[in-house]
Amino acid sequence: MEYYDQVTEAADLIRAAVPEVPTIGVVLGSGLGDFAGSLAKAVSMPYDALPHWPVSRVIGHEGRLVVGTSRNKTIAALAGRCHIYEGHDLKTVTFAVRVLGLLGVKTVILTNAAGGVNTSFSQGALMVIDDHINLMGNNPLVGLNDDRFGPRFPDMTEVYSHRLRAEADRAAAAMGFKLPHGVYAGLLGPSYETPAEIRYLRTIGIDAVGMSTVPEAIVARHMGMKVLGISCITNMAAGVLPQPLNHDEVMETARRVRGQFIALLEGVIGRL
């Protein structure tokens, strides 16, 4: 079966299972999946029950699609994603976003747990992604282009919507805080970066670093979706603090900020 047909089959099954087709998609990063549980009138589907859908095996990625409502909008929330470092190719990694596009989603909010490269950031900060640099060594659009998804050479001048970034700022201001903005670097992983690599990233203008999001953002723009990216700075990157990095710290920080994170998402969604 062709890739487009696989995506279509998954989209058709979801469309038939939910009372209303979502127009907004939210991809939830490590430890940030609680937002899916906050949706009203929810229909929950485990990834392994959806045809051709990849299942993440990473702690903190629950692995279910939840379609429900928030602020009177119908949302498709992906509680967890798969990653290249798990051994998946980029078509597999971006499969879920392709499905969202064929479902009719016009706006996608991509979230992640990230390492803070900018030393002015504090652990637990939420950062709006203004732009990214792809350092994964590959691109999800490599290979024959299927025009049913999008054009051969999509424009990447504004990957992350200026309007959506402004709405995120307004939502944060209504909550009483100011959101930092920055440039996100996508690296392959799964090892954390070395201090020398972090110095290099800081030199080229990176504020946060992670192992996801970039392929999804490229594919979303390829399909004409508007993108908002939000990073939760769950740890400071290697060499910033005199301590080793570990995934438990990522999960603990994500748990600590989940209330603020969910409130911010709800605030943004209410303005769309």
* 3-state helix, strand and coil shares in percent for the chain, rounded to the nearest 5: 35, 25, 40
C-beta of residue 218 within 8 angstroms of C-beta of residue 139: yes
pLDDT of residue 238: 56
pLDDT of residue 249: 66
Distance separating alpha carbons of residues 19 and 14, to the nearest angstrom: 10
Distance separating alpha carbons of residues 156 and 187, to the nearest angstrom: 19
- Bridge partners, residue 68, by sequence: 75
Specify the fold of 3-270. Rossmann fold (3.40.50)
Q: Which residues of the chain have pLDDT under 70?
A: 30-31, 58-61, 237-250, 254
Q: What is the DSSP letter of 144?
A: S
C-beta of residue 28 within 8 angstroms of C-beta of residue 77: yes
Q: What is the pLDDT of residues 135-152, one digit of tens each?
A: 999 999 999 999 999 999
Residues forming the active site: 30, 61, 83, 85-86, 113, 211-212, 235, 247
Tell me the Ramachandran region of residue 120: left when phi exceeds 0, alpha when psi lies from -120 to 50, beta otherwise: alpha
pLDDT of residue 246: 61
